[in-house]
Amino acid sequence: MSKLRFRISISLDGFVAGPSQSVENPLGIGGTRLHEWAFALAVTRAQHGLEGGEVNESTPVVEESLANIGATVMGRNMFGGHPGPWDAKEPWNGWWGVDPPFHHPVFVLTHYAREPLALEGGTTFTFVTDGIEAALEQARRAADGKDVSLAGGARAAQQYLAAGLVDEMEINLVPTLLGSGERLFDGVGDDLHGLDLVRTVAPPNVTHLKFARR
């Protein structure tokens, strides 16, 4: 069966975004420090249409996390722009420009209905107003046998984790402190729902901890 796979970068003190997230600063203050390891990699740069970058111990981890993904689910805060109803005249179309790096169907959790948005390169955004299980079901159908990626942000991840719906979780632990911001595990409780640590990869600047059901 199609798995729900989640990967995220997190600080040593448990934050996945810094404080004061905004349109200008979507990762919050200091939040980009969580992603420096990834943006140094050729595989990540290529995903965003950029040349250059490194090949190192993290490369196969990122390649694995990108492989066999047929659809994505994400929260409204990750899709971004602003909270509340969509602007009817100039609706927010995501952070990623006309050719987002997904290249497959993306399902956005929101309380506000909206027509689907088709962008270049095969990325379509479908807005789901009836909850995390409905979004996952639609994503699984769209993935057509492949897996579904849970892209975040923190609140969407918390809901899927608390419900025990995540099948694989790749924690990219960055050895830095953010001090405040969005905590990944807030409200998730004390149950990993059978997710065990199954593999650790430890380059100098990030620790990759893979959790899965045995």
Q: Which is nearer to a copy of itself, 143 or 173 (CB)?
A: 173
CA distances 146 to 38, 142, 177, Å, are 24, 9, 35
CB of 34 to a copy of itself, least distance (A): 12
Exposed e or buried b for every residue in 182-196, given b needs 16+ CB within 10 A? bbbbeebeeebeebe
Rounded Cα distance between 65 and 196, Å, is 17
**Cα–Cα nearest to 35, from 209, 214, 205, 213:** 205
CB of 178 to a copy of itself, least distance (A): 5
Q: Which is nearer to a copy of itself, 12 or 50 (CB)?
A: 12
**Cα–Cα nearest to 93, from 130, 120, 133, 66:** 120
Q: Which is nearer to a copy of itself, 116 or 189 (CB)?
A: 189
Q: Which is nearer to a copy of itself, 93 or 180 (CB)?
A: 180
CB of 197 to a copy of itself, least distance (A): 4
Residue at token pair 């196969």: 60
Q: Which is nearer to a copy of itself, 134 or 202 (CB)?
A: 202
- Per the document, the length of the chain is 214
Which residue type occupies 102? F
CB of 56 to a copy of itself, least distance (A): 15
Summarize as ranges the residues that interact with a copy of itself (CB under 8 A).
12-14, 30, 171, 173, 175-180, 183-185, 188-192, 196-197, 200, 202, 204-205, 207, 209, 211
CB of 136 to a copy of itself, least distance (A): 21
